[in-house]
């Protein structure tokens, strides 16, 4: 009889432990679509506008230089048959010098634009991360994953928090 009480007690204890371990594994998971968030938040449009404004003058200068290069190259094609060799060489040298100037000014500008973009995106990303954390805490989520890096999720069991995050970031 002691054995049956002991085995019953062990069976009850095992059942209770399984119940608690099952609830320990059940946690609330949310998912966010970062691309969709970036598309929808107003901060991205303002970042783009600010960067365009900041670099507009220098971009226009480079675009003018590109136009001048195209003009001179077309001139060379049109008139090369009637030009002397000295004129051809002078025009070729002029175009090459303009291309070198374009490269010397273009590369640093591209790098500067990328650096500024990264700085501004880091600020926006910090807002998004904070909003995700707030939404997750408010909804008592145990985990939030990024949709792009998740191979599969069951939409019945995993909540998409993207629209809530967009709303929260948009208000900031």
Q: What is the pLDDT along the chain (172 residues), one digit of tens a residue?
A: 445 444 443 444 444 444 444 445 568 899 999 999 999 999 999 999 999 999 999 999 999 999 999 999 999 889 888 989 999 899 999 999 999 999 999 999 999 999 999 999 999 999 999 999 999 999 999 999 998 888 888 888 888 899 999 999 988 8
Q: What is the reported pLDDT for 149? A: 87
Q: What is the reported pLDDT for 25? A: 57
Q: What is the reported pLDDT for 30? A: 92
Q: What is the reported pLDDT for 11? A: 42
Q: What is the reported pLDDT for 13? A: 42
pTM (2 d.p.): 0.67
Where do the domains of the chain lie, and which CATH numbers do they carry? 27-170 (3.30.910.20)
Q: What is the reported pLDDT for 108? A: 94
Distance (Å, whole) CA 145 – CA 163? 15
């Amino acid at each position: 009889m002691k054995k049956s009480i002991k085995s019953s007690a062990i069976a009850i204890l095992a059942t209770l432990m399984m119940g608690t371990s099952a609830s320990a594994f059940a946690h609330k998971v949310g998912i966010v679509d970062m691309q969709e968030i970036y598309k929808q938040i107003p901060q991205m449009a303002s970042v783009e506008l600010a960067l365009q404004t900041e670099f507009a003058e220098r971009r226009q200068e480079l675009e003018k230089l590109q136009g001048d290069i195209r003009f001179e190259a077309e001139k060379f094609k049109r008139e090369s048959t009637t030009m002397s060799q000295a004129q051809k060489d002078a025009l070729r040298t002029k175009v090459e010098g303009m291309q070198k100037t374009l490269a010397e000014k273009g590369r640093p500008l591209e790098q500067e634009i990328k650096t500024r973009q990264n700085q501004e995106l880091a600020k926006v990303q910090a807002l998004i991360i904070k909003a995700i954390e707030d939404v997750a805490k408010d909804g008592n989520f145990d985990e939030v994953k990024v949709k792009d890096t998740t191979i599969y999720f069951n939409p019945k069991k995993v909540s998409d928090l993207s629209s809530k995050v967009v709303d929260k970031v948009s208000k900031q």
